[in-house]
Amino acid sequence: MNTTETAASVTPLFSGETIRNRVAELGAAISEDFRNLGTAEPLFLITILKGAFVFAADLARCITVPCTFDFLSASSYGAAKISSGSVTLRHSLSVANRHVLLIEDIVDTGLTLQHITDELSKQQPASLGICTLLDKPAARKHPVRIAYTGFSIPDRFVFGYGIDYGEHYRQLPFIGFFDT
């Protein structure tokens, strides 16, 4: 299956151009908010894998303040594409006294991010914020404070731009859905 065939069967929600413009706006806002950190204390960007990798790469190129990068693997989804109710984290991050910005693809129930922020907060970072490309407020079951949001979306399953559907469609340059 190639991208052209795949794209023909998907209804776009946000075009690649719309995403690029919004990511640039997010990068500018983050840069402004963290411009006084200086090089001795760079902003620590932690990308939550796998879905946020495309967003994080594009966002990082739009941030103009010094940054360091790392990755965290987290999952709360089972084979049925619904939350399993538990979160598995795989990382060895040290965030004590650092300004941390978590980069997430999509916030729906809030379970994964609540678990991640609870765990990282135990290390007492200087600050801990969340930047998400997509937010589904209607799906929220766990409180999560999001500092930067790309787009709010209805409670529907979306994919593309790094977000998968059964490990497929991450390569799409836009975010879409199957219109069923």
- pLDDT tens for residues 128-153? 999 999 999 999 999 999 999 999 99
Q: How confident is the model at residue 2 (pLDDT cuts 50, 70, 90)?
A: very low
Q: Which residue has the higher pLDDT, 146 or 10?
A: 146
Q: How confident is the model at residue 180 (pLDDT cuts 50, 70, 90)?
A: low
pLDDT at 41: 81
Name the catalytic one among 58, 70, 105, 108.
108
Mean pLDDT of the chain: 88
Q: How confident is the model at residue 65 (pLDDT cuts 50, 70, 90)?
A: very high
Name the CA dihedral angle for 18, 169, 84, 115, rounded to a multiple of 10 degrees. Answer: -50
pTM of the complete model beyond 0.75: yes
From residue 150, alpha-carbon distances to 9, 23, 95, 155 in Å are 25, 7, 25, 16
Q: Which residue has the higher pLDDT, 78 or 163?
A: 163
What are the tens digits of pLDDT across the range 77-119? Answer: 554 455 556 666 656 789 999 999 999 999 999 998 999 999 9
Q: Give the whole-angstrom CA distance, residue 25 versus residue 27.
A: 5
Contact 125, 100 (CB under 8 A): yes
Cα-Cα-Cα-Cα dihedral sign, residues 96, 100, 102, 108: positive
Q: How confident is the model at residue 3 (pLDDT cuts 50, 70, 90)?
A: very low
Q: How confident is the model at residue 37 (pLDDT cuts 50, 70, 90)?
A: confident
CATH architecture group of domain 3-76+129-134+146-170: 3-Layer(aba) Sandwich (3.40)
108 is catalytic: yes
Domain boundaries, the chain: 3-76+129-134+146-170
Residue 23 token pair: 């990511």
Q: Give the whole-angstrom CA distance, residue 70 versus residue 112.
A: 18
